[in-house]
Amino acid sequence: MADIVFNIAKGRVVEYYNRVENNDPATSAIIVIPVLTAGLETDAVLIDKDDLAAVFTGATDEATAGGWNRKTLTDVDLAALPAPDDTNDRYEVDIPDQTWTAVAAGNNTSKLIIAYDADTGAGTDANIIPLTMHDFAVTTDGSNVTAQIAATGFFRAT
């Protein structure tokens, strides 16, 4: 589950997931972004950021070197939107585990951001809405890195 849900996305994560799954619009996607350890701002600071550009305007940096990159998930990558869990009074959504190949030593991460992009073709970071952020402490050594998403999903609305 998410360590934080960005204020801008509270109550809307399932909606954004559903939009991508239904190809609405066709250019929409869920974006998975690794975040470097060095310079990482606190959760209390980051939770108030309203777009991805704002997240990376301060001291927080995206991991983009040594094998790290953004992962773009479209409708074909996502499972059908599940039914609400009426027994437990909640709604959970999931994404597949993500793997980065041969991530070079020294490119350590602390967080993983899941975001929504309505226009992967023409959008900028200012148009990407951060949804959730998860602890993702990885000390790299040149091997593959897999973000194993919990069986209950990356987000749970209760």
Question: What's the pTM value of the predicted model, to 2 decimals?
Answer: 0.95
Q: What is the pLDDT of residues 40-87, one digit of tens each?
A: 999 999 999 999 999 999 999 999 999 999 999 999 999 998 899 999
CB within 8 Å of 129: residues ≥ 6 apart: 6, 8, 9, 16, 50, 51, 52, 115, 116, 117
Q: What is the pLDDT of residues 77-120, one digit of tens each?
A: 999 988 999 999 999 999 999 999 999 999 999 999 999 999 98
CB 125 within 8 A of CB 52: yes
CB 46 within 8 A of CB 4: yes
Scored b (16 or more CB within 10 A) or e, 131-145 reads bbbbebebebeeeeb
The domain ranges of the chain are: 4-157
CB 115 within 8 A of CB 130: yes
- CA 32, 80, 94, 41 dihedral sign is positive
